[in-house]
Amino acid sequence: MGDLGPHIGKHVDRNLALELVRVTEAAALSASRWMGKGDKNAADGAAVDAMRKAFDTLSISGTVVIGEGEMDEAPMLYIGEKIGLGGPVVDIAVDPLEGTTLTAKGGPNAMAVLALAEGGGFLHAPDIYMDKLAVGPGLPDGVVDIDASPEENLRNLARAKKCDVSDLVVCLLDRDRHKDKIKACRAAGARIMLIPDGDVFGVVACSQPEVGIDMYLGSGGAPEGVLAAAALRCIGGQMQGRLMYENDEQIARAREMGITDPQRKYKLEDMARGDVMFAATGVTTGPMLRGVRWHGAGAVTHSIVMRSKSGTVRYVEGHHNFALKPKAFAG
């Protein structure tokens, strides 16, 4: 991984990417035991606990920069927490359960997600909203712009893709705050995919042709924006984001985290720099990942792992036999 080269060899680098899958698998397996039980906090707690324990097996010197909150708010995976057995110095961004409500209700697209970068590679985003715009790979630089109107962006995207605006699908979180954007996209002729939660999926899906999303638009959590940017750095695509502040206290908090320009328009490389790895495991089934499937002897998981260094994307199906450990991941 770039500057990590002197410390770890090429094959160990590859192995680390696959080791990250073991971490997201552990979180997904634990969270899935709470699928449909109506308790999003229990599902999230199970995912956090399992992910934190799995990190203890990795040979890294990691610092959590996107996590479950401040040290006084989160007992584990808090911002600034040191994790790993020792090794290459890396930044860690995690969302042990992206889609807590989805999991509690048995809805689609819940995932366990993490990303890893060289030290200093991730934007230290405060836990506030971020306005986001993303498209997939293979398009001219600057084909869309967060400061342009939805209509203008859709026209430019359609021109670049050599299609009609009516062929395009825009993904947004199903929120009242997006009603004007939804109206503008429909007026321009685009089709809309509204998702209840999980905007990491929405952004990453732009780079997956089989999912059928051409653009992600709208506001969601800033930490999730950094995670999504890490994925696009690995798989290709364009993304822009701008932090959204509700009060002076949030602006002051951002300044404490090193953000000097509150109105800055962040590009993909501003949010995730250098060599990056990304991994996610499905908790519930969606267009990109299948959810955990339990059976008598264990479970089957479906994950994705990416590396920016090689541009490689791998889908991993894990078969977990718990016959010798019947209480494992009991939830």
Give the CATH number for residue 30.
3.30.540.10
In a domain, 327, yes or no: no
In a domain, 66, yes or no: yes
In a domain, 331, yes or no: no
Q: Give the whole-number percent of the chain exceeding pLDDT 70.
A: 93
If asked whether residues 111 and 171 sit together in one domain, one would say no
**pLDDT (average), residues 102-127:** 94
3-class state of residue 169 by DSSP: strand
pTM of the model: 0.89
Beta-carbon contacts of residue 60 (< 8 Å; ≥ 6 apart): 16, 83, 84, 85, 86, 87, 88, 89, 90, 116
In a domain, 326, yes or no: no
If asked whether residues 264 and 281 sit together in one domain, one would say no
Confidence class of residue 297 from pLDDT cuts 50, 70 and 90?
confident
- pLDDT tens-digit series, residues 78-90: 999 999 999 999 9
- At residue 101, the pLDDT reads 95
Instruction: Please report, for residues 36, 129, 159, 258, the alpha-carbon distance to residue 123 in angstroms, rounded to integers and kept in the order given.
Output: 34, 14, 32, 9
Cα separation of 200 and 217, whole Å?
Answer: 12
- Overall number of domains in the chain: 2
pLDDT tops 80 at residue 114: yes
Whole-number mean pLDDT of the chain?
91
If asked whether residues 62 and 23 sit together in one domain, one would say yes
- At residue 324, the pLDDT reads 60
Confidence class of residue 325 from pLDDT cuts 50, 70 and 90?
low
- pLDDT tens-digit series, residues 229-266: 999 999 899 999 999 999 999 998 888 888 889 899 99
- pLDDT tens-digit series, residues 25-66: 999 999 999 999 999 999 999 999 999 999 999 999 999 999
3-class state of residue 316 by DSSP: strand
In a domain, 233, yes or no: yes
- pLDDT tens-digit series, residues 168-192: 999 999 999 999 999 999 999 999 9
If asked whether residues 160 and 198 sit together in one domain, one would say yes
CATH number for position 219:
3.40.190.90
If asked whether residues 149 and 177 sit together in one domain, one would say yes
In a domain, 172, yes or no: yes
